[in-house]
């Protein structure tokens, strides 16, 4: 939160600086500086738009200068040919650009990232070609000229008034963008970019949120395009081209992708450079220089100026963070407090033995390897069900099938009385929540944002409400932040809330994943080897937590190789070996099963017996 506030104030300071340009230079040069500063404002907006798609949602778009041109052409045509006022052509052109962007995204989002870049490039070339050949409408190679500045009461705005209007509109647009980025939407964009399958497991529908990100980004590019055409007074096909887009990419990469301040700093720097060399260097050499700057940035400062500064700052501030005193196992993750914060229902008396989840004949192969050979599994509500078996016996694969992460080759799965949904995010929305065996945190997001990502499905934030910071949407975000901080406090991580999740010690990363999963208010929680890497005190705390969660009505499927942990807390245990179920029953029954003992037979039978026979509480 503080980091965001700081970032917003930086943007205001930097933009204020650019806004002052026309006033600090001698009045003879004023007109030039008004024009120059106006173009900087437009470019900052366009670069920020590109950053939503590229930096936040990870969609490498080559089409932004083309989208910008679509809006510029649309507004120019509406104003010069049909006499529409700017105030109507602006929303109309932005709407059209958004539709074009959405259409483009709908047709290409399923493609991989590389193809996305190539297809958007093809799209940009298409737009440019269309502008060249559709002469009656676009003016062909010469483009459209004499596009007037907006007028008010019949008189066109003075250059200085339009300059102020440009900065006002760009400022409001960037404010809206910042609101979206610091909300459920921005978190979903970043989550998808960083780890799509983990985002889906939290209930974020990847395609839907990529589409939102791209359409929003196109809309912002549209605003920039309209502002530009009424400033420059003309539009020509080159504007849609890749050359024109170069300054944009240099700005975004140099400043830092995926930061709000990055594009502002990058564009200020890049346009300053362009201005300095414009009188001394030939146009072709300017492009070359920009290409070189971009290459050097990628090599030397892959996170850009702001990204690098931020990393330095985080590292610096981490060193001064005091580590928390160890919490006692009683205090640690108190289940009652969790229930209060998350709002689990009162424990319902579980009267039914109808399985909450039921799988029949699950078969799953990877190439020639049959990982599951017809497994049946029933999970009774309100129980902790253990799933054990040697390494490679198919436990994680089964979890993948149960959560629509894998599509099984054969078999049927029913959850809560209905067939299992086919998409991961739908499974999550139905309350079936999984914690991956390999930590799936969003490493570059803060610890707090990771928990907030777990609240995705419960958030009531709407897009336009968030954009405009309507009270209900602001309150929702505040409520979620408070709850997330309370949860972190319970796990003794409150002082690490602002750290990137990747900087937590391994044990805390695992705990954070459990907390993030609990934030989703699951009905069935699947934990894949959660105790790996935890010290014995933490394992004890986790065991206590799971028992208490079961008592408040949660159903848990626990995959574990730590036998005393499994045998100590499970109501039922299923044993897999080489993709088949070899035993099932109470922990005591399973431990006595000769086949199970054989499966665990390492070097000697005694060792296997030792591994399995642990004191059962
Ligand atoms: P467990 O979780 O019980 O240790 P897994 O379900 O991870 O076992 O793996 C079962 C078998 O399937 C192993 O032989 C493993 O190598 C193989 N396997 C798992 N996932 C994949 C995959 N994505 N591609 C190919 N083989 C896989
Ligand atoms: Mg596994």
> 487-502 pLDDT, tens per residue?
998 888 888 998 999 9
Distance (angstroms) between ligand 1 centre and the Cα of 398 equals 9
Q: Give whole-number Cα distances, 439 to 285, 506, 529, 565, in Å.
A: 48, 9, 10, 20
Q: Which atom of ligand 1 is nearest to the CA of 389?
A: 3
- Write the Ramachandran bin of 616: left for phi over 0, alpha for psi from -120 to 50, otherwise beta: beta
Write down the pLDDT at residue 610.
52
Pocket of ligand 1 (CB under 6 A): 366, 369, 371, 389, 391-397
* Residues 253, 267 contacting (CB under 8 angstroms): no
**Residue recorded with tokens 């170069």:** 246
Spans of the chain, pLDDT less than 50: 1, 320, 322-325, 602-605, 615-617
Residue nearest to atom 27 of ligand 1 (CA): 366
Distance (angstroms) between ligand 1 centre and the Cα of 367 equals 11
* Residues 98, 218 contacting (CB under 8 angstroms): yes
d(Cα 466, Cα 450) in Å, to the nearest integer? Answer: 19
Question: Which residue, among 284, 244, 253, 267, has the nearest Cα to 66 in the 3D structure?
Answer: 244
Model's pTM, two decimal places?
0.90
Write down the pLDDT at residue 611.
57
Write down the pLDDT at residue 533.
81
Ligand positioned closest to the Cα atom of 390: 1
Task: Give the residue, out of 362, 396, 561, with the most ligand 1 atoms within 8 A of its beta carbon, to mutate for a pocket test.
Answer: 396
Question: Which residue, among 547, 518, 535, 589, has the nearest Cα to 344 in the 3D structure?
Answer: 518
Distance (angstroms) between ligand 2 centre and the Cα of 530 equals 11
* Residues 148, 233 contacting (CB under 8 angstroms): yes
Burial letters 559-598, b for 16+ CB under 10 A, else e: bbebbbbbbbbbebbbbbbebebbbbeebeebbebeebbe
Residue ranges of alpha helices (H) inside 202-282 are 206-232, 242-255, 261-278
Q: Which atom of ligand 1 is nearest to the CA of 529?
A: 2
Question: Which residue, among 566, 426, 442, has the nearest Cα to 513 in the 3D structure?
Answer: 442
Residue 82: count other Cβ atoms within 10 Å of its Cβ.
9
Lookup: tokens for 339: 């229930």
Sort 12 into a burial class: Cβ within 10 Å, 0-12 / 13-18 / 19+. middle
Q: Give whole-number Cα distances, 579 to 97, 322, 605, in Å.
A: 52, 47, 22
Distance (angstroms) between ligand 1 centre and the Cα of 397 equals 6
Question: Which residue, among 199, 239, 186, has the nearest Cα to 51 in the 3D structure?
Answer: 186
Task: Give the residue, out of 372, 394, 409, 577, with the most ligand 1 atoms within 8 A of its beta carbon, to mutate for a pocket test.
Answer: 394
**C-alpha 48: how far from its chain's center?**
17
Sort 265 into a burial class: Cβ within 10 Å, 0-12 / 13-18 / 19+. buried
* Residues 170, 45 contacting (CB under 8 angstroms): yes
Task: Return residues with CB closer than 5 A to ligand 2 (ion).
Answer: 395-396, 437
Sort 121 into a burial class: Cβ within 10 Å, 0-12 / 13-18 / 19+. middle
Residue nearest to atom 8 of ligand 1 (CA): 392
d(Cα 163, Cα 231) in Å, to the nearest integer? Answer: 8
Distance (angstroms) between ligand 1 centre and the Cα of 577 equals 12
Residue nearest to atom 19 of ligand 1 (CA): 397
Lookup: tokens for 394: 């198919």
Q: Which atom of ligand 1 is nearest to the CA of 398?
A: 6
Distance (angstroms) between ligand 1 centre and the Cα of 441 equals 21
Sort 498 into a burial class: Cβ within 10 Å, 0-12 / 13-18 / 19+. middle
Residue nearest to atom 16 of ligand 1 (CA): 392
Lookup: tokens for 2: 């503080």
Ligand positioned closest to the Cα atom of 576: 1
List pLDDT tens digits, range 47-65: 999 999 999 999 999 999 9
């Amino acid at each position: 939160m503080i980091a965001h506030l700081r970032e917003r104030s930086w943007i205001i300071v930097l933009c204020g600086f650019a806004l002052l340009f026309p006033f600090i230079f001698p009045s003879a040069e004023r007109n030039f500086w008004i024009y120059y500063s106006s173009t900087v404002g437009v470019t900052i907006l366009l670069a920020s738009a590109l950053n939503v798609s590229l930096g936040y949602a990870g969609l490498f778009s080559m089409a932004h200068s083309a989208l910008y041109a679509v809006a510029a052409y649309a507004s120019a045509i509406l104003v010069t040919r049909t006499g529409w006022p700017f105030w109507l052509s602006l929303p109309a052109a932005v709407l059209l650009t958004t539709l074009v962007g959405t259409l483009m995204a709908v047709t290409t989002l399923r493609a991989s990232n590389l193809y996305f870049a190539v297809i958007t490039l093809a799209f940009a070339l298409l737009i440019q070609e269309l502008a060249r050949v559709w002469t009656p409408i676009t003016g062909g190679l010469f483009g459209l000229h004499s596009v007037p500045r907006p007028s008010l009461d019949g008189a066109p705005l003075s250059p200085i008034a339009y300059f102020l209007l440009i900065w006002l509109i760009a400022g409001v647009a960037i404010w809206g963008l910042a609101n979206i980025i610091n909300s459920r939407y921005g978190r979903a964009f970043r989550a998808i970019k960083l780890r799509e399958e983990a985002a889906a497991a939290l209930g974020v529908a990847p395609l839907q949120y990529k589409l939102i990100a791209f359409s929003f980004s196109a809309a912002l590019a549209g605003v920039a395009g309209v502002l530009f055409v009424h400033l420059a007074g003309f539009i020509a096909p080159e504007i849609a081209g890749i050359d024109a887009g170069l300054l944009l990419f240099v700005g975004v990469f140099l400043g830092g992708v995926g930061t709000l301040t990055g594009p502002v700093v990058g564009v200020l720097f890049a346009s300053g450079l362009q201005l300095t060399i414009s009188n001394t260097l030939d146009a072709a050499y300017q492009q070359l220089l920009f290409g070189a700057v971009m290459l050097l940035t990628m090599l030397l400062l892959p996170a850009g100026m702001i990204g690098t500064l931020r990393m330095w700052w985080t590292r610096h501030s981490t060193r001064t963070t005091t580590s928390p005193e160890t919490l006692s196992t009683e205090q640690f993750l108190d289940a009652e407090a969790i229930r209060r914060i998350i709002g689990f229902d009162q424990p319902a008396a579980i009267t039914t033995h109808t399985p909450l989840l039921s799988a029949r004949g699950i078969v799953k192969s990877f190439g020639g390897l049959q990982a599951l050979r017809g497994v049946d599994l029933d999970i009774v509500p309100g129980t902790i069900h253990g799933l054990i078996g040697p390494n490679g016996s198919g436990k994680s694969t089964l979890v993948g099938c149960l959560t629509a992460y894998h599509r099984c080759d054969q078999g049927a799965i029913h959850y809560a009385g209905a067939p299992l949904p086919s998409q991961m995010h739908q499974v999550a929305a139905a309350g079936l929540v999984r914690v991956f065996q390999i930590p799936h945190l969003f490493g570059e997001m803060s610890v707090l944002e990771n928990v907030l990502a777990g609240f995705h499905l419960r958030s009531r934030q709407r897009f336009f409400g968030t954009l405009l910071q309507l009270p209900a949407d602001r309150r929702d975000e505040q409520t979620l932040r408070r709850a997330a901080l309370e949860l972190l406090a319970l796990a003794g991580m409150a002082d690490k809330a602002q750290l990137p999740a990747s900087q937590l010690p391994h044990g805390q990363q695992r705990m954070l994943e459990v907390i993030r999963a609990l934030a989703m208010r699951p009905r069935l929680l699947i934990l894949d080897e959660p105790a790996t890497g935890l010290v014995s005190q933490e394992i004890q705390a986790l065991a206590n937590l799971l028992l208490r969660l079961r008592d408040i009505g949660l159903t848990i499927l626990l995959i574990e190789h730590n036998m005393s942990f499994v045998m100590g807390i499970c109501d039922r245990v299923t044993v897999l070996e080489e993709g088949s179920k070899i035993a099932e029953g109470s922990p005591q029954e399973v431990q006595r099963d000769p086949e199970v003992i054989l499966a665990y037979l390492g070097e000697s039978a005694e060792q296997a017996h030792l591994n399995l026979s642990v004191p059962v509480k």
